[in-house]
Amino acid sequence: IDFSKRKDTQTDLGELLSKGQRHYLYHLVESAFDFSAIVSQLAQRNSDKLSKTEFEDESMRSALQNIESRFTKEKENTERFRRQLFGLIQQAEPPQLIERIEKGSAYYTKLFESSLTELFTHIAEVKQFTKTKTYLNFLLEIDQLLMKHFMEINTVSYITKCVLDGTEIDKTSDAHATVKTFRQKLLADSEAFAEDKASSSKLKTGKKRKGTGKKVKGETYKVSLELFKEEWTIEQIAEKRGMSESTIEGHAAKLIGDGDLEVSHFMPEDITKEISKAIATSDGKGIGSVVASLNGKFTFGQVRMVLAVMQRTTKNK
């Protein structure tokens, strides 16, 4: 090997690192902020194999369309945002790059949270039906794709800082943990909602709902009611009774609907009004859609409580 080459023909180590950083960051940004694969995957719901699965419930029929519409509307905005980030990478402007990524991540996190909320609700409801294996597998593929991008959106800022600082990427970071915690809570909420949903719906093809096990008897609501009257919180009742908080919120919604409790027992008036407004403008698309429209600010249970008092008020008129 000829070590006597002129210095100006050799590539400086720092320059090599800079090029390596830029290449990696280009790939990182492209992967995190390109949602075209999500739109393409969602569009496959119209294939002959999947279009046969049709539900009576309007919120179930429109769930995937709602999610696809959200991402389709963001196409031009996302392309423009990626170009901005590519420019900052090329110009080697680390502070501005990190600032833009953090703002973009915060914006798109809301998009993914609302979409995942609606998707998980839909999955939980579909699981209550028979002969939906093919469709359910399709939904789980979408789940994996959305979660992959959601993780990237939430960690891209952290990883960018690691690349620029030359530090090791820790996959147990707070950013990674936040996504996992969000998923676990959303799964619990959506499954509790689907199981507790009082419905005798059938598929248009006549396929009946699966049995969801033993029905909750009136006695269980009475137990929760007594504890609520003793000023126990939802968290305390859930722990005492060995149930999820989502289930206890479901009890609260039922008790509010029956007139045994008031919604003011669980939330202030301003929150009630905000949720009521979202319900009123949802065009009956279902609780999952309402929760999604509120960007995950409130739980399924909170929305159900407000819906219960609205339905009670309408019924008593």
Query: Which pLDDT score, from 0 to 100, does residue 1 have?
Result: 37
Contact 250, 287 (CB under 8 A): no
Query: Which pLDDT score, from 0 to 100, does residue 199 have?
Result: 40
Query: Which pLDDT score, from 0 to 100, does residue 207 have?
Result: 45
pLDDT at residue 285 tops 70 = no
For the entire predicted model, the pTM comes to 0.67
pLDDT at residue 271 tops 50 = yes
Query: Which pLDDT score, from 0 to 100, does residue 77 have?
Result: 94
Mean pLDDT, residues 201-223? 56
Instruction: Report pLDDT digits (tens) over 296-310.
Output: 788 888 898 999 889
Q: For residue 265, what pLDDT band results from cuts at 50, 70 and 90?
A: very high
Instruction: Report pLDDT digits (tens) over 244-259.
Output: 788 888 889 889 998 9
Comparison of pLDDT for 136 and 54, the residue scoring more = 136
Instruction: Report pLDDT digits (tens) over 159-205.
Output: 999 988 888 888 777 888 888 888 888 887 777 677 665 443 444 44
Instruction: Report pLDDT digits (tens) over 147-163.
Output: 999 999 999 999 999 98
